[in-house]
Every structure is written in structure tokens, then in C-alpha cells.
Structure 1
Amino acid sequence: MNGDHMASGHLVVDKKVLTLILIVLLLCLTTVISNGFIIVALGTEWLQRRTLSPYNKLLVSLGASRFCLQWVMIGKSTYFFLYPMAFLYDPVMQFLSLLWDFLNTATIWCCTGLSFFYCVKIANFTHPVFLWLKGKVSRWVPWILLSSVGFSGFTTILFFTGNHVLYQHYLRDKCQYWNATGDSMRSFENSYFFFLKISVFSIPFGIFLVFIVILLISLGRHMKKTLLTLSGFQDAPVQAHVRALLSIIFFALLFTSSFLVLILNNGSRFPLHEAKSWVWNIVSHLCMAVHSLFLLLNNPKLRATVERSCSPRCEVS
């Protein structure tokens, strides 16, 4: 940290970084609104009917984790803006990082569970094992959600342990903030956090890639059959099946790009005062915001609810 960013002993947030922070906050609010709508709509249906379809259970769980995750990001960004000299691993940041690690991991595993549900329900295979999975997957949704919580909790403990070790190292050596991320602490970050995040996040990402391949094979076979008969291509169920598979591919592209950005951001470990760190955050949160809107508008019930809620306002105006 050079003297250009220091003024009267206080760290000054660069204007470029401040602009990027505001963009991140705007994307977070967009994701909060879309996922909040999903939670309210599906939560109301759950309370009224006392039941919810397995797919909607996965969707509302993903929406809830993303909703809370965005508020944690808003809290971290606000805290950094108000206290730019605060150490990255001080107690407040440790608490926010604890919430972030848990909710972020839960979001990734919920996405993986949702892609598994998509893959089994939509892909068209006649293998006995696949048919057995198709009949059992709806009953497995509660266990999928419970496993997501368990994996997230275990991962959070590992991340919290590393954060606590760094903070104790910081207190023991009485480091200044702008020197706190150098030498031995930087070495610990690279050796512990990078490999931890790569190993933890590569598991769901690898599973997700398998689902992508299965869906692409299923789509190719289905398109080949429908192209053989033009009348079959005009059939409504066939068109719905193709649209669903194309939606899954779009879902896969968004999740893949978001995950790759996450890996690059975690591997780089840029200080929060550098613009590069916030650029990666913008890309990641943009993918999340777009995907949340896609899930909202791609669900017929949710889309109809959005149209009903918007129509009275249009009539009044």
C-alpha cells in the first residue's frame, strides 16, 4: 500500500473501487428482489397448500440461500466502505466471512441438487438404473437439501479455522494493515485457502459437468428423433421437452461461468482495495443476478404471479 492511498493516517477508498462497489451493490439488490419474489410466492403456496413440489422445494431453498448471501455481501461491502483500514480477518469480517462461506457453499450445492433433479427428470434414457433414479429422485429432495446443509457446515468450519489462524498471526506479530497480507500470511493463504477452495468447489462442479454431458446427449438423441418426423416436431409435449432441455443448457452455462469466476477470484486472493477483486465480484454477481431472473421467469407459475402483480400497476398508470 503506497502513500497515495494514505491520508492523515487513514486509508482512502479509490474512486474506481468505490464505483465498482456500487455496481456490486446494485447487482446484489437485483438478486435480492428476484429471489425474494421466489421465496414469497413459493412460501405462500407452501403455507396455503401445506405441500410443495420437489422441484419448487429445491428452487425456494436456492432462492433463500441466494437471498441471504446477497445481504451478507451488502454487509461486507458496506463495512469495507465505512472501515477501509479494518483487517481482512478481524472479528467482524470473520463473522461475515463465516456467513458468506456457509451460504455460498449452500448455494453451490443447491444448484448442483437442482441440476441433478433436472437431469434425472428431463433426460430421456431407458436404462434401468436411470429409470430407477427417475422414480426415486423426488423422495430424495429432503436428503439433498440436508446434505447441502451438512457439506456447507463442514466447509465453513474449515474456512473459519483458516481465518482464525490468520487473525491470531496478525495479533501476535502486531502487523500493520497494509503489511498484513504479505510474506508468511500470504504464503498461508495460498497454501491453505486456495487448495481448500479448489478441492471443495471442484466436487460439485465436476458433478455438474457430468449432468451437462448427460443432458446434451439426451438433447441430441431427442432432436434426432424429432427431426425424422416433422409431425413429431410439431407435437406440443415434444416442443416442451426441447424447451426444457434448452433451458437446462442455459442454466448450465450461467452456473459454469459463475463457478469459473469464483475459482479465479479465490485463487487470486486480490486485496479488497484493488479494483481487480471487485471486477471479479461484478462478473460473479452478474451471473447470479441473470440466473435468478431466468429461474423466476422460466417458471410458469412464478411468471404468471409476476404478470398478475404487475398488471394492476399498469392499469393504474
Structure 2
Amino acid sequence: MGPIMSTGEVSTSHTVLGCQTADKAVITLFITLVLLCLVAMVGNGSIIIALGKKWLLQRTLSAHNKLLMSLAASRFCLQCVVIGKNTYVFLNPTVFPYNTVMQLLNFMWDFLTAVTIWFCSLLGFFYSVKIATLAHPVFMWLKYRVPGWVPWMLVTAVGMSSLTSILCFIGNYIIYMNFVKSDQQPWNVTGNSLRNSFEKFYFFSIKMIMWTIPTVIFSIFMILLLVSLVKHMKKTLSTFSGLRDVRAQAHVKVLLTLLSFIILFISCFLTLVLSSISSTPFQEFRYWMWEVVIHLCTMIHPIVILFSNPGLRAMVKRGCC
């Protein structure tokens, strides 16, 4: 769901493009990362175009499609920022990670990453409430209320993400101003040590809180949905023996789609957390490897959405024709 961390480190080891020569492995990973982002942009762009045409023709969108379009739009913008930021870092591997350009790029990355995680969580919550067959009164009440809440849920997600990005921007600015006032060099060992401590207690705390809240919400409701679908599948297959094979295939397809959604979401969350814990210079192989792994997850999900949603798939095919 997210690529580069805004807490990236200054390079101190070997030279890359922008200095003398680039490591071949780093170049390969950079090209792979850009290609993954472009594939993800095509997938998300297809969703945006298909739902955008439907919105223009029908003058309205269902609550589910509003969530899908918002998620696709946030991911599309995030991929653009990722390409721009990684290209800048690739060409300037020893850049001070808190200069003016990096502050702006980090602000956009922080906001789009947080809002994407929130939109994914809201989509999972919506799936759970609308599809789950639980007979609890709270679920029955939510089934009729949630569609009307979607616009407000989206606005709340944007507001929470804005708060996170603003707090991180303030932290970036404080670090930058301290270095300017103290006249330290970006590669100063003592300065880097103090900065690392600040990052661990400030940036990491803020991001963990804002990433964990939607992830917990997503996980709880996805587990409830899976339990509900498994129970419903067992009940259906034991009752309608004549349509057992057809119904079994339909249920298995739904379960596999949901499991892929859950696995990709959790994988992206874990890679973001692990990436934020480690302090890796921009030009190191490990840094670029993390970027590729993270964006492999974000590339797969829009493709899964396109192929698992018959209506959306049909709209995309009509648009291509």
C-alpha cells in the first residue's frame, strides 16, 4: 500500500547514480519498482475510468462503488508520488531526507498512505456488514445504516489522514530547522543519532497509531465475515444437494477473493511497519528491496478487484472495446 518511508536515512556507504556509478542491483530494483507502480496505476486507472463513466451516465454511484473509486483514486495518486519520490532519491542518493523537496514528497506520501489504509479498512468493513449473514441485532441495524454513512466515513478517513500527515510534516520541519540552526551536516554521526531517536519516538508512534486503528477494524470485521460465510456455505451445501457443486464453486470463489484481500492488506501493513523500524540508507540494496516487496502487494490488489467483480470487469471491457 505504500512504498518509501518518510523517515529514510542519509546515504554514507557506496556511490550510486548522481555520484559516480550505480550499483546494477539497485538499478534493476529501481526499474522493477517503477514498472510495478505503472502496472498498479493502469489497474487503478481502469477502475477510476469505469466507475467515472458510470457516475457520469447514471449521475450517482452506489456506496460500494464510492468506496472502490475512492480507494482506486488514492492508490493512483500514491503511485505517482512513489515514482516521483523514488526517482528523486535514485538520482540524489545522498540527499538530506528533510530538505524542502523531501518534506513536500514525504507530506504527500504520508497522507496518501494513511488515506489508502483507511479506505481499504472501510471497504472491508462495508463488505462485512453487507455480506455477513449474522443474525445479531447490531448487524441487522448496520446493514441499513452503513450505505448512508459512506460519504461521512470517507470524509472522516481524509480528516484522520490529514492529521497524521500534518504531525509528521511538523516533525520533519523541526528536524530540518534544528540542523539549519546548529549548522550540522546531514552526514554528521551525532546528528544522525539524535534524529534516529526522534524518529523512533515521534514518527513511528504517530504512524503506528494511525495505521493500527484501521488495520484492527479491518481484521475484526473480515474475521466475522469469513466465519459467517463458512457457516453459510456449510448450511447451504447440506440443504441443497442438487446444486452442491455450483454453490460450492461460488462460495469457494468468494472466500478466495476475501482471503486474497486480507492477505494483501495485512502483508502491506507488516511491510510498512518493518520498513519504518529499519534505518536504511537510500542507496542500499535492502531499501530498494523493501520498496519492491511493498509495491508487489499494491499492484496485485487492483487486479484482483477487476477480475473478481463481474460488473466492473464488464465495464472495463466495454471501455477497452
Query: Any residues of structure 2 matched to 1:1-317 within 5 Å, and which?
Result: 4-5=14-15, 10=19, 13-179=22-188, 182-231=192-241, 233-234=243-244, 240=250, 243-310=253-320, 312=321
- How far 1:296 sits from its partner (Å)? 1.7
CA distance in 1, matches of 2:231, 2:136: 14
Distance in 2 between residues matched to 1:264 and 1:95, nearest whole Å: 23
Match of 1:315 in 2: none
Distance (Å, rounded) in 1 between the aligned partners of 2:206 and 2:113: 14
Measured after TM superposition, the shift of residue 182 of structure 1 is 2.0
Answer whether contact 2:98 2:175 (CA < 8 A) is retained: yes
Deviations 1:110-159 (A, max 9, x none): 00000000000111111111100011111111011111111111111111
Q: Distance in 1 between matches of 2:115 and 2:267?
A: 18
Identity of aligned pairs, percent? 49
Q: Give the distance between the partners of 2:71 and 2:242, measured in 1 at CA.
A: 35
Structure 1 length as normaliser, TM-score?
0.90
Structure 2 SS opposite 1:178: coil
Letter aligned with residue 207 of structure 1: I
Counterpart of 2:211 in structure 1: which amino acid?
A: F
Amino acid at match of 1:14: D
More helix by share: 1
The count of aligned residue pairs is 310
CA distances 1:89-109 after superposition (whole Å, capped 9, x unpaired): 111110011111111111000
3-state DSSP class of the match of 2:187? helix
Separation in 2, partners of 1:241, 1:113: 23
**Cα distance in 2, alignment partners of residues 281 and 92 from structure 1:** 20
Question: Distance in 2 between the 1:87 and 1:3 partners?
Answer: 14
Gaps of 5+ in 1: 313-317
Query: Cα RMSD between the aligned structures?
Result: 2.3
Q: Distance in 2 between matches of 1:37 and 1:69?
A: 15
- Looking at structure 1, the residues matched to 210 and 83 of structure 2 have their Cα atoms a distance apart, in angstroms, of 24
Residue 211 of structure 1: CA displacement?
1.4
CA contact (8 A) 1:39 1:63 kept: yes
Offset of 1:4 from its aligned partner? 4.3
Question: Quick one: distance in 2 between partners of 1:230 and 1:85?
Answer: 66
Letter in 2 for 1:203: I
Instruction: Give the whole-Å Cα distance in 1 for the aligned partners of 2:204 and 2:89.
Output: 22
Give SS of 1:291's match: helix
* C-alpha contact (below 8 Å) 2:94/2:282 kept by paired residues: no
TM-score (structure 2 length as normaliser) = 0.89
Residue number in structure 1 paired with 2:7: none
Deviation at 1:60, TM superposition (A): 0.3
Q: Which runs of 5+ in 2 are unaligned?
A: 1-10
Shift in alpha-carbon separation, 1:283–1:138, aligned structure 2, 3 A: same
After TM superposition, what 4+ stretches of structure 1 lie above 6 angstroms from structure 2? 235-238
Aligned residue number for residue 3 of structure 2: none
Separation in 1, partners of 2:238, 2:88: 60
Relative to structure 1, is the Cα distance of residues 179 and 234 closer, same or farther in structure 2, using a 3 angstrom cutoff?
same
Q: Following the alignment from structure 1 to structure 2, what is the Cα–Cα distance between the partners of residues 4 and 102?
A: 32
2:295 maps to a residue whose letter is H
Q: Which has the higher contact order (CA 8 A, sep 6+)?
A: 2
What secondary structure, in the 3-state scheme, does the structure 2 residue paired with 1:255 have? helix
- Partner SS for 1:177: coil
Q: CA deviation at 1:3?
A: 6.5
